[in-house]
Amino acid sequence: MPIATVNPATGETLKTFDAFGAEEIERRLARAATAFTLHRTTGFDRRAELLNRAADLLDQEQQDIARTMTTEMGKPIVAARAEAAKCAKAMRWYAENARQLLADEHPSAADVTDSGASWASVRYRPLGVVLAVMPWNFPLWQVVRFAAPALMAGNVGLLKHASNVPQTALYIEDLFRRAGFPDGCFQTLLVGSGAIEGILRDRRVAAATLTGSEPAGRSVAAVAGDEVKRTVLELGGSDPFVVMPSADIERAARTAVTARVQNNGQSCIAAKRFIVHSDVYDAFCERFTAGMRELTVGDPMRESTDVGPLASEQGRTDLEELVDDALRLGATVQCGAQRPEKQDKGWFYEPTVLTGVTDAMRIHREEAFGPVATVYRVSDLDEAVTLANDSPFGLSSNVWTRDDGEVERFVQDLEAGGVFINGMTASHPALPFGGVKRSGYGRELSGQGIREFCNVTTVWHGADPDDNR
C-alpha cells in the first residue's frame, strides 16, 4: 500500500511520500536509543512541563490538524476537532497524574519481615524504545493515548502509522519536537507493513503496542513472542448494545444511532449488534431506524454532516460484501444498504439497519467496519447474555436497563473489557481500555496503561543483625 494522502470524499490522491530506506530506519533507531538514555533520567516535573506544552500547541492548532485528519480519512470535521481536544485533555491528565500513578509502593515491614528484609519497595522504571503500530480511524487519539503515558513514564516512541494518514503521523512527531522533548523521543517511521518485523526484532526496541486488525495483531504478537518482548494489542470489536424492557427506549434509540455511526461507523468500540428484548423490540427498532434514516451523509468538511465517507475504497467493498452476504441469506433491510445516489465520488455508504440476521451470515461473526447495524430480538435476559457473548470479540458492551439485578448479571457475565450501563462506550484517560478474546490483551489509559511499559522492579533491603532500630 503506498504511503499517501488520498481524500476519501473524492478519491483524489493529494500527496505521496517515499518510504524510508534501511539507512534512515537505522538512523532513527539509533536516535531513539540515544534519546532514551537522556529522557529516562528526567523527572516527572520536566516531562509534565513538556507534555503540557504539547497540549497547548495542540489546542492552538486544533482546526488545522482537524482538517488534516478529515482530509486523510474522512471523519466529519466536528468529530475531528473533538478528537484533537480529547488528545490535549489526555496529555494534561497524564502530566498531572503520572507521578502518583508510578509512585514507589512500600509493603509494610510486617508483610516482608519473614523474607529477611528490613524493608522493601516496588518501583516502576521505563522499559525503553516502544514501537507503536497504529490505525487510521482515530489517527491522533490512538497515538496520543499511547504516547502520553509512555513519555511520562520515561519511555520513547517510534510510530509506524497507517499508510493513508502520513501527514497526521508527521504532525505528531513535529508536535512533540516543538514542545521541547529531546531529539528522538518521538519519531514517525514512514514505512510499509513489511518493515515492521525487522524494526521489532531490533535489540534497541523493547516492546510494541498495536491497535488494528486481528491479522495485524497476530503478526506483531508472533514476532514479539519470538523475541520475548512485551506487547499490548487492541484489535477488533463487535460490541453488543443490549436493550431490556425497563430501559428508557427513546434515549436508548437516540444513543444507539450515535453509538453505531460515530467516526462514520469505523470504530472498534462502536456498538454494532443491537440485542433487544421482544417486549420493546418494535418500539426500539422503529425509533432506531428512523434516527439512522435522518442522518446527513456528505462532505465531511461541512459542519452539518453526520456521516462522511469510509476511509478507503476497499473498506467500502468489504462492508458491501458483508451486507450482500446477509441479504442473500435472508436478512431484511430496514434502511440503507446502498451507496448514496447523490454521491458520485468518494467512498460513501448509507447508514444501514438489518434485521433477521442469523448465525449463518458472515456479519454475525465478522466486524462491520462502517455504518451498518444488525438488530436481534431476544425473549429474556439469558438469551441476551448468550447472544451478546456469541462473538469472537470482547472489546466493550452497552446495556440499557433500570433493573439493578439485571445490571449485576450483565456485569458478571458479559465477556468484554468494558460494560457501559445506560450509555455508549467511550474511552477516557482515567479508565482502563482494552478487550478480551480476539479483541486483544493488555490495557491502555489509566494507571494500568502507563504501567504496561514499565519494568516493575522489586527493591529488597536485607536486615542488618547489628541494627537495633
Which of the residues are catalytic? 234, 268
Q: Cell match 489546542: residue?
A: 59
Kind and range of the H or E run holding 259: helix 249-261
DSSP assignments along 148-203, one per residue: HHHHHTT-EEEEE--TT-HHHHHHHHHHHHHHTPPTTSEEE----GGGHHHHHHST
Single-letter amino acid, residue 11:
G
Q: Which of 51, 1, 377 is nearest to 186 (CA)?
A: 51
Distance CA 4, CA 14 (A): 8
**What contacts 40, CB < 8 A, 6 or more positions away?**
125, 126, 128, 154, 155
Phi-psi region of 133 (alpha: psi -120 to 50; beta: other; left: phi over 0): beta
CB 153 within 8 A of CB 453: yes
Distance CA 85, CA 38 (A): 30
Phi-psi region of 337 (alpha: psi -120 to 50; beta: other; left: phi over 0): left
Sign of the torsion formed by the C-alpha atoms of 152, 456, 188 and 137 = negative
Q: Which of 265, 352, 342, 347 is nearest to 312 (CA)?
A: 347
Enter the C-alpha cell of residue 263. 467516526
Distance CA 107, CA 86 (A): 36
CB 96 within 8 A of CB 327: no
**What contacts 286, CB < 8 A, 6 or more positions away?**
none
Distance CA 422, CA 255 (A): 9
Single-letter amino acid, residue 351:
P
Q: Which of 376, 372, 326 is nearest to 350 (CA)?
A: 372
